[in-house]
Structure 1
Amino acid sequence: MELLWEMAQLLVSLALILVSLLACVVIFAVDARKHNNAHVDASVIFEDPNSLKQVPCPHVHDSADKYISLIIPAFNEEHRLPGALDEALSYLQRRAAKDKSFTYEVIIIDDGSSDGTKKVAFGYVKKYTVDIVRVILLGRNHGKGEAIRKVSLVQTFCSFSFFMFSDIEVGYFVFCALQQFIEAFHLCESIVKQGILHSRGEILLMLDADGATKVNDLEKLENQIHAVSKEVYVGDSTASNSGFSISDIAVAAFGSRAHLEEKALATRKWYRNFLMKGFHLVVLLAAGPGIRDTQCGFKMFTRAAARKLFTNIRLKRWCFDVELVFLCKWFAIPMMEISVNWSEIPGSKVNLLSIPNMLWELLLMSVGYRTGIWKIYN
């Protein structure tokens, strides 16, 4: 009997240790991204390949001087990027020919591709000029701001280690181990964010480089954004009489493939359906109801909405879409979910190995915002 009691005590102790370690990992990771909205980013460069001059980068807080900006993130997309750019630019040129007030830009963000993506992108800049097509080159080095952030984290965690481990050296050892563990999940900062922050449009459209969604579907989102913006403007008793500007009204439109779900359920493997349903449940718990398809890469924002959302965004790659929904609700930004045409593109499916990272980021978001560690700035 005593042996069973001792084993039970041992199991309880082990469970408490594991829970404590998990809590440490979560707290450390949440704190690591506390200032992700404000830390110094890697240098953003607009380069004109024709004149070999660097073009000053605008910022989303500046006034708009284009009607629409298309933001296309690209990582090793040398083969699929040309098709997406040809379709987009052809569509934009047709609209501009019919309406002289329709001005546009296409921003390609290359996040350190190892193939010919950069060469392909600059080929389009040479063809269409840097005023129409711009390329942002991002490196992996986050510079001084990242270094300062890591020093701060060491101090924070080592202080916490007195309580958890009663030994600063042990605490620092665990800090290093946790840092390596977290960095295994720590994907590059959403490159879409950099395109949004350095765009010039009154309305901003993010879309994937794989061409899964047709560019002309942007009109569906655009029409809804205009309609809702006018409703908000008319209903705003503080609105000035100087005139309506869509860039000043915060509205978001999310492209959706939810209408295709029934057909997809019939053709997709059972385990993918199971994982999809599980992910939707976790998203519902983390961000609440409202948007059924958070992961569609076809989204549109007014400039005012982008200023609030993308200067606060902290999550990485897959789940930053969920954070956008959460932030829209926080700021009471009207958001609509609009069905778009979508095609399955080979190589575009979510890798099952990325699911742990997605769940990890949703956990960080829930803890970060609900504990107040992640501040939201207006």
Structure 2
Amino acid sequence: MTPPTISVVIPAYNEGARLPAFVEQLTRSCLVTVSPMLELIVSDDGSAPEHQEKGRASVEAARARLKEAGSPHRFRFLAAGRNGGKGSAIRRGWRESDPQAGWLAFLDADGAVSAEEFLRLASLAATSRDVDVVMGSRIRMAGRHVERSLLRHLQGRVFATLTDLHFHLGYYDTQCGAKLFRASMLRPLLNRLREDRWLLDVELLVLLREQGARPLEVPIDWADAGDSKVRWGVDAARMFWGLKKMHRRLKRPQ
């Protein structure tokens, strides 16, 4: 079997209402796009049985359609025994991914980044020789369409500012749920990753900067899917406190 160019982990927790439609969207895009070749891994993060079953069934249906069409792309489904967080689900998926993949990626399950937009990023990564990180960015600018509530936009800008104060990464948007990493740079870091939830993005970018990774932040179209699992106030406070803890941890010699 030809190895995939990109292994994409889609972390999912109780996404039975949204995930099947997004898997269908991804399948349609894969049926009309040959390159880059994708391994799409739905990594269920200990969802309730009814949600997990819907996710598994959607992946099985996608696999059957791709096989029938002779498509080189492939879908897989992984299930955790208990909920461990988005970061945990992503790391699990990467560890189970095809070791021959040239790029490792993750994509949020809510469909806020469409299949077509993700494939645009994937094609850019697969054809770039001087880039090691390709990350979507929700920048409101001419030619791009971003639908996002004012509250979530403001929360994002505050978080981005605090992240830059701690780590000086220089990115506009560290938390967009579509990122791709050159596998040769990311795989050696997998055992160093500790963040189980939303701060995995920042941890990855900090560690990859230490390795000299060359990043590219790409403005994308984004449509807020609603029903965010990030709770204003409680989770924001946890993320901000988590930044401080991670900053102290990453400053210590390894």
Q: Place the TM-score, normalised by the shorter chain, in its bin.
A: 0.7 to 0.9
Deviations 1:306-336 (A, max 9, x none): 3134332111211111111111211111111
Q: Is the 8 A contact 1:125 1:132 kept in 2?
A: no
Secondary structure in 2 aligned to 1:317? coil
Give the secondary structure class of the aligned counterpart of 1:338.
strand
- After superposition, the CA RMSD in angstroms is 3.1
Alignment of 1:147-166 (within 5 A): none
Residue 136 in structure 1 maps to residue 78 in structure 2: yes
TM-score (norm 2): 0.82
1:107 corresponds in structure 2 to: 41
The aligned amino acid for 2:32 is: R
Mapped to 1, the partners of 2:248 and 2:44 lie a distance apart of 31
Instruction: Please say if 1:86 is aligned against 2:32.
Output: no
In the alignment, is the contact (CA less than 8 A) between 1:112 and 1:138 conserved in 2?
A: yes
Deviation at 1:282, TM superposition (A): 1.4
User: Shift of the alpha carbon at 1:265?
Assistant: 11
Task: In structure 1, list runs of 5 or more residues that go unmatched.
Answer: 1-63, 142-185, 233-250
SS of corresponding position for 2:242: helix
Is residue 2:89 matched to residue 1:191? yes
The residue identity in structure 2 corresponding to 1:307 is R
Would the alpha carbon gap of residues 331 and 84 (structure 1) be closer, same or farther in structure 2, given more than 3 Å must change? same
- For 2:214 and 2:153, the matched residues in 1 are separated by 31
2:228 to 345, 348, 365: 348
Aligned-pair CA distance for 1:135? 1.2
Query: CA offsets per residue over residues 25-77 of structure 1, 9 Å max, x none?
Result: xxxxxxxxxxxxxxxxxxxxxxxxxxxxxxxxxxxxxxx82223221111000
Residues 315, 361 of structure 1: 8 Å contact kept: no
Match of 2:122 among 222, 241, 257: 222
Contact 1:291 1:325 in 2 (8 A): no
Partner Cα separation in structure 1 for residue 118 and residue 218 of structure 2: 10
Structure 1 distance, partners of 2:42, 2:148, is 36
- 1:300, CA displacement in angstroms? 1.1
Go from structure 1 to structure 2 and tell me whether the alpha carbon gap of 1:188 and 1:265 turns closer, same or farther (over 3 Å shift).
closer
- Aligned mates of 2:225, 2:147 — CA distance in 1: 17
> CA distance change for structure 1 residues 298 and 134 in 2, over 3 Å: closer, same or farther?
same
Identify the residue that residue 268 of structure 1 maps to in structure 2: 150
Shift of 1:226: 4.2
From the two aligned structures, give the one with the greater helix fraction: 1
Match of 2:177 in 1: 297
Q: 8 Å contact 1:69–1:104 — kept in the other structure?
A: yes
Q: Does 2:11 align with 1:70?
A: no
Q: Secondary structure at the match of 1:345?
A: coil
Partners in 2 of 1:314 and 1:252 — Cα distance?
20
Return closer, same or farther for 1:264/1:211 CA change in 2, 3 Å cut-off.
closer
Matches within 5 A, 1:15-30: none
Deviation for aligned residue 1:255? 0.5
Partner SS for 2:195: coil
**Is the Cα–Cα contact under 8 Å of residues 287 and 325 in structure 1 kept in the other structure?**
no
Q: Is the 8 A contact 2:87 2:198 kept in 1?
A: no
Aligned letter for 2:202? V
**Could you say if the C-alpha distance between residues 135 and 265 of structure 1 is closer, same or farther in structure 2, counting changes exceeding 3 Å?**
closer
Distance 1:213 1:276, change over 3 A: closer
Identity of aligned residues (%): 27
Deviation readout 1:137-172 (Å, 9 max, x if unpaired): 11239xxxxxxxxxxxxxxxxxxxxxxxxxxxxxxx
Contact conserved, 2:199 with 2:239, CA < 8 A, in 1? Answer: yes
Change over 3 Å in CA distance of 1:125–1:277 after alignment to 2 = closer
1 or 2, which has the higher strand percentage?
2
Is there any run of 5+ residues in structure 2 with no aligned partner, and where? 68-72
> What is the CA–CA distance in structure 2 between the aligned matches of 1:341 and 1:265, rounded to whole Å?
8
Q: Would you say 1:253 and 2:253 are equivalent positions? A: no
CA distance in 1, matches of 2:230, 2:179: 18
Amino acid at match of 2:6: I
Q: How does 1:310-329 map to 2 (within 5 A)?
A: 310-329=190-209
